[in-house]
Structure 1
Amino acid sequence: MKLPAGNRALSPHTGYTRDHWIAAADGLLAAAWRWATPGGARLDLPGPPSGSGVRSDGLEGFARTFLAAAFRVAGEEGKDPHGWLERYAGGIEAGTRTPGRDDAESWPEIRDHPVAGQPMVESASVALGLRLTRPWLWDHLAPAVQDRVEAWLRGALRHVPAPNNWYLFPFTVAGFLSSVGRADAETAQARDRALELLEGWYRGDGWYADGDGRAFDHYNGWALHLYPVLDAHLAGEATRFGPRLREHLESFGLWFGGDGAPLHFGRSLTYRFAAASAVGLGAVTGDTPLRPGVSRRLLSGALRYFADRGAVDEHGLLSLGWHGPHAPTVQHYSGPGSPYWASKAFVCLLAPPEHPLWTATEELAPSESADTVLALPGPGLLLQATRDDGVVRLHNHGSDAVRPHEAESPAGENPHYGRFAYSTRTGPTARDNPADNHFAVVVADVGSVRRRIHPLGAGHGEGWGWAGSWHHPVFGRGPVPGLRVESVTVVRGPDELRVHRVLGAPPGATVEQTGWATAPGESVLRPLAGWTGQDEVRAPHGTAFVTWVSLPRLTADVHGTAVFVALAVLGTDTGDPVAAVTEEGAEIGWPDGFSVRIRFGPLQVSSVR
């Protein structure tokens, strides 16, 4: 991407302005269009195909880049110096001429989620792009082409979505059709069903679960908030969704490190700076507690973070990965066009040049302003940020991405959710390597994984906080009857106290605790109570941040009930706490006289001075 010179007077932290965002959009679009089909209906970007096949992938490349073009042109009130909308109009006409036909241009038909359903996802981007650019694109299509587009889009209303945020795709399609005078009972039903489900998924603290389970991650911002809030904004309506976005941004501002990195947590991380889309949306609609200079710091920090670290390859394309290509970051449904859901961050361009988002002086990000601890009981998450290094850690005691019907099924771990801690500077180790930030019970030489997470609560006080949960350790051959692990994380400054109580451990069992996945010497894992062994294990597959890592590890024998306490630090400075344990809990004290008391069954956590 060719970006203009930085403006450090207006943006002292990133140098980025609105012109940088426009240049980034134009650069990404220009690179992607080099791979267009002759009629422009598909962008067949280079790379391995997704499970949906190359035709669906080509539609994905078209639809997701169309979203970037739509935000860019709508934000300029129709000014389109590069003629992006003319290209997309031609592609829409060619793609809808004979849907489902096996040729170079025809878009695949929209079908049920289990049967090549990916085009339903892309229909939402097509519909939203058309809604944003209606005066300059849709209104100039021939009536017959408009009818063809409607017929193709209605496939999203007539087929079964995945049981999660996918219901917002027919919702978005229906919103567009309604906005152009094509509403009917079918569009109303799609909208009502999505809003009904969304209401049931709301868990408080500005957080929605992504479906009926307890999956909380970046989809909360770039999907579950974005579609309904933007829909209402474009319709000029006030809804309950705006205040929920505001509440979400109360905590979500802390999901970005001082270097601009979003928390490396959850699935679809190859969407990269899409993580900042909720920040931009809040600034555009006014549903935000963040000052304009803080919002721009978060937005531009995220964009610059990836631009500076190789996210754009030698062809000018966004690769499948995090910084550069990184296979373990990528889900099976991702293809070469998938990273362009990053286009959602360009929602910020709907704020015109004179908007305070662009005219206010850039301010510090929340993670740079002060040491901060924030508990989110709704999703069961605990955030910990340290100002000196700008690193944010997320301690996970509530998000598991295990669907309700899966229960405690014996299956492999999910590195994107199953670990106890994530950060803006480290990624989880790959599935086939030793797991970082993991507590395992080992029975007959088989280590357990953590799948369904049952939250026990979360809270914070002045300068400290905690979150707790329990889980049944899961083994490939099935569960061990009566075996249960209760866990609490207590944070203060850079310190993380990891407290685990094991109940029902069979004879011969052992336990293991690993720390952060870093280069040797860049993190601490110190035994405080219960642990008898200490070593390091290698993870040669590395992470999205480093090509090779080692993990500090603690070990011990366990039988029946026992409590284990360890100090973990992402860094090297610690507050030197000490711990005393019983079978009922633990008390942890620091040299300055501050201490925390933990009692299990039912869980109680309190500070003592």
Structure 2
Amino acid sequence: MQPENITLTSPLQSRNDIRQLVNELLNAVTPFFKKDTSRVDLANFTAHYGQRVANMETFSRLLWGVTPLLAGGSEPEQFSFYLQAIKNGTNPQHADYWGEVAPYDQRIVEMTAYGLLLALAHETVLAHFNEQEKTNLWRWLKQSEDQAIPDNNWHFFPILVQVGFGLAGMETNPQALEKHFAAMEHYYLGAGWYSDGPGRPRDYYISMGFHFYGLIYAKLMAEIDPQRSAELRRRATLFAADFIHFFARNGAAIPFGRSLTYRFAQAAFWSAAAFAGLEIYSPGVIKGIVLRHLRWWMQQQPFDRDGVLSVGYSYPNLIMAEDYNAPGSPYWGLKTMLVLALGEDDAFWQAQELPLPELAAQHSIPQADQILVHQNDHLWMLTSGQLELNNFVNTEAKYCKFAYSSRYGFTVERGRYGLAHAAADSMLLLSEKDNYWRGRRDCTSVSTADGMIYSRWQPWHDVTIATWLLPLGDWQVRVHHISSARNLDTAEGGFSVPNRPQPLAAAGQACCQLTTSTDISAIFCLSPVPRHGERILTPPNSNLLFAERAAVPLLCGELTAGKSLLISAVWAGNPADFNARLCPQAIIRDDVVRLVTAHHQKCLTLTDLPEISV
């Protein structure tokens, strides 16, 4: 059940619809405002930075909705509370002072919202501040300039503070701005892509971080810093041509990577593109992406009973959370509401909402080592070489699977013992005969070319696996060339499906197929190593898209020490679209594998792997 105070009857088609949604999201938090303080306390769990900072984070993230309202000419109902909370929080003499920041401090993250508030609504806000209160705000935000921060998207936080200072007529530090821009150049990959720090993933932080802030900068600083603004727009334009492939025609995006509890921040890039007037797609296309995405999210279960956004993905779920996810963290999703800063007469709001343009069925992104596949009613992504170096919870599940799906999501690990807990979907898991399972984590080599992704990985120091991932039409094919000094059990999973009702399973030699009235998920063995089909059920709340137990089709077998070849074909989608007779075939001759379907053919050569010293 969705909470009654969140509008689900609104078609979310007009500017007024979105304005109403933002007000309702903000008003749902109002009962949790602490009277005569600057704190918002939503729940009794917290993040690694403690409850006091978590409360400050909750308040600050609400500003991502407040600021577009103010910039667009309206005020939130609790405007006086927001003003007083900012005054109290930045006043060193007040009991609710937010405090002096330390290295790597979460409060530096939240300062970005105040930078945007000053940039877009300084006249409205500062009219209520006396000179001392303005100085307090400036001084508190100024702490972001030189404090040690992670070497990733955080560099944009002090930059946006400087933008706010400049546009509000406050003293700026140009050297700090230049320093942080220079730091981010070290992980610009070209073609519009960054990594989220040196050697780190290419995930939604590239869209909702780098390019979101970059486009805001480009819009607001176009006359002050025209050369850099033009370059940021150029990079965002290149990125947009790839990023559009992350969105399905029904508005869903592919769940992948960390911080998925920010939910509709997945589309924040497109709101920033509209805000900056980025001319990559027509206003109607961008409007369609944003509004369909918001409508899709309103059809999920992202709220608690009281209308507060929960930590989770399509339903409340602390199991999938990172250690920096506090009760108010999900309100970063309000970044997508930036389009409310555009007036009703803007081209974005005047345009007729349009569907996605015609897109290639397959789209490779070498800079991100990703291949996107647009199947009928199913958008999925192949990927390799992603690893979050901070080792946040469920890093392997969020980054290291072979595939991610807009329709079937993915499961997170609940334990290493037993396949049901080990998040086997879209993974090859291996066990040393003890029912403890491990799969791909770090890759020692990755390349994306010729419509396929190659990776080399080592689950043990003396087990090396070369994996090729390639789409053949709607089929996903995986080739694993394994050199092992150990005898191993193997389990390879296809896409998980909801266990509602329990799917009809057809499992036997060399295949497993799960069928419901709405879905089929199947995996077929194409290699000579004998494997048998098996179905497992995961614990509840394992899959990000559905809370009930997920069913996963598996291929299971044994490997003896030496070299082995495993090849599988995976399919998932509408039952009416499935035809097992179209399953790819593998023709193996010497070290060449030829993969063939009725309409596609691909050859790959198996590179000899190094000998293993036991």
Tell me, yes or no, whether TM beats 0.5: yes
- TM-score w.r.t. length of structure 2: 0.86
Question: In 1, are the aligned partners of 2:8 and 2:298 still within 8 Å (CA)?
Answer: no
Corresponding residue number in structure 1 for 2:493: 514
2:19 partner amino acid: I
Of the three residues 143, 150, 155, the one matched with 2:131 is: 143
Is 1:380 matched with 2:369? yes
2:564 partner amino acid: A
Q: Which segment drifts farther, 57-66 or 446-455? A: 446-455
- Report the secondary structure of 1:358's partner residue: helix
Is 1:337 matched with 2:328? yes
Cα separation, 2, equivalents of 1:469 and 1:550 = 27
- What CA deviation, in whole Å up to 9, does each residue of 1:95-143 have, x standing for no partner? 12237x7x4x322432111xxx111111111222222211111244111
- Report the secondary structure of 1:151's partner residue: helix
Q: CA deviation at 1:442?
A: 2.9
Of the three residues 412, 416, 420, the one matched with 2:398 is: 416
- Taking structure 1 as reference, are residues 584 and 183 closer, same or farther at Cα in structure 2, changes over 3 Å only? farther
Cα separation, 1, equivalents of 2:395 and 2:48 = 21
Q: CA deviation at 1:291?
A: 2.1
- TM-score w.r.t. length of structure 1: 0.87
Is 1:453 matched with 2:480? no
Cα separation, 1, equivalents of 2:117 and 2:445 = 39
- Report the secondary structure of 1:136's partner residue: helix
Q: CA deviation at 1:507?
A: 4.0
Percent of aligned pairs sharing the same letter: 23
Corresponding residue number in structure 2 for 1:11: none
Question: In 2, are the aligned partners of 1:215 and 1:400 still within 8 Å (CA)?
Answer: yes
Is 1:30 matched with 2:27? yes
Q: CA deviation at 1:341?
A: 0.2
Question: In 2, are the aligned partners of 1:577 and 1:589 still within 8 Å (CA)?
Answer: yes
Of the three residues 288, 298, 308, the one matched with 1:317 is: 308
2:584 partner amino acid: P
Cα separation, 2, equivalents of 1:69 and 1:412 = 33
- Taking structure 1 as reference, are residues 245 and 175 closer, same or farther at Cα in structure 2, changes over 3 Å only? same
Q: CA deviation at 1:417?
A: 0.5
Is 1:428 matched with 2:407? no
- Report the secondary structure of 2:556's partner residue: strand
Is 1:567 matched with 2:569? yes
Of the three residues 139, 160, 178, the one matched with 2:166 is: 178
Corresponding residue number in structure 1 for 2:277: 286
1:457 partner amino acid: S
- Report the secondary structure of 2:477's partner residue: strand
Corresponding residue number in structure 1 for 2:543: 543
- Report the secondary structure of 1:415's partner residue: helix
RMSD: 2.4
Cα separation, 2, equivalents of 1:583 and 1:120 = 57
Is 1:200 matched with 2:186? yes
Corresponding residue number in structure 2 for 1:439: 428
- What CA deviation, in whole Å up to 9, does each residue of 1:511-549 have, x standing for no partner? 331111113323011111144122122212331222101
Is 1:346 matched with 2:362? no
> In the TM superposition, what are the counterparts of 1:139-538 in structure 2 within 5 Å?
139-184=127-172, 187-236=173-222, 237=226, 238-365=229-356, 369=358, 372-386=361-375, 388-389=376-377, 391-402=378-389, 414-432=396-414, 433-435=421-423, 436-445=425-434, 446-454=436-444, 456-459=446-449, 465-473=451-459, 479-481=460-462, 483-503=463-483, 505-519=484-498, 520=503, 521=514, 522-534=520-532, 535-538=534-537
- Taking structure 1 as reference, are residues 510 and 316 closer, same or farther at Cα in structure 2, changes over 3 Å only? closer
Question: In 2, are the aligned partners of 1:31 and 1:317 still within 8 Å (CA)?
Answer: yes
Cα separation, 2, equivalents of 1:129 and 1:182 = 13
Cα separation, 2, equivalents of 1:19 and 1:455 = 50
- Taking structure 1 as reference, are residues 486 and 120 closer, same or farther at Cα in structure 2, changes over 3 Å only? same
Q: CA deviation at 1:47?
A: 4.3
Q: Which segment drifts farther, 448-457 or 337-346? A: 448-457
Q: Which segment drifts farther, 526-535 or 214-223? A: 526-535
Q: Which segment drifts farther, 173-182 or 17-26? A: 173-182
Cα separation, 2, equivalents of 1:203 and 1:328 = 33
Q: Which segment drifts farther, 153-162 or 294-303? A: 153-162
- Report the secondary structure of 2:398's partner residue: coil
Q: CA deviation at 1:301?
A: 1.4
Question: In 2, are the aligned partners of 1:297 and 1:365 still within 8 Å (CA)?
Answer: yes
2:14 partner amino acid: T
Cα separation, 1, equivalents of 2:493 and 2:22 = 41
- Report the secondary structure of 2:123's partner residue: coil
- Report the secondary structure of 1:240's partner residue: helix
Cα separation, 2, equivalents of 1:206 and 1:454 = 25
The count of residues paired between Structure 1 and Structure 2 equals 564
- Taking structure 1 as reference, are residues 214 and 53 closer, same or farther at Cα in structure 2, changes over 3 Å only? closer
Question: In 2, are the aligned partners of 1:268 and 1:329 still within 8 Å (CA)?
Answer: no
Corresponding residue number in structure 2 for 1:554: 555
1:511 partner amino acid: T
Q: CA deviation at 1:203?
A: 1.4
Cα separation, 1, equivalents of 2:521 and 2:395 = 24
Cα separation, 2, equivalents of 1:89 and 1:471 = 53
Unaligned stretches of 5+ residues in structure 2: 415-420, 504-513, 515-519, 610-614
Q: CA deviation at 1:495?
A: 0.7
- Taking structure 1 as reference, are residues 577 and 142 closer, same or farther at Cα in structure 2, changes over 3 Å only? same
- Report the secondary structure of 1:451's partner residue: coil
Q: CA deviation at 1:595?
A: 1.1
Question: In 2, are the aligned partners of 1:69 and 1:84 still within 8 Å (CA)?
Answer: no
Question: In 2, are the aligned partners of 1:280 and 1:348 still within 8 Å (CA)?
Answer: yes
Question: In 1, are the aligned partners of 2:117 and 2:164 still within 8 Å (CA)?
Answer: no
> In the TM superposition, what are the counterparts of 1:576-595 in structure 2 within 5 Å?
576-582=583-589, 584-592=591-599, 594-595=600-601
- Taking structure 1 as reference, are residues 4 and 355 closer, same or farther at Cα in structure 2, changes over 3 Å only? farther
Q: CA deviation at 1:359?
A: 2.1
Cα separation, 1, equivalents of 2:486 and 2:324 = 42
Question: In 1, are the aligned partners of 2:481 and 2:566 still within 8 Å (CA)?
Answer: yes
Q: CA deviation at 1:86?
A: 3.4
Q: CA deviation at 1:426?
A: 2.1
- What CA deviation, in whole Å up to 9, does each residue of 1:468-490 have, x standing for no partner? 222222xxxxx323x22111111
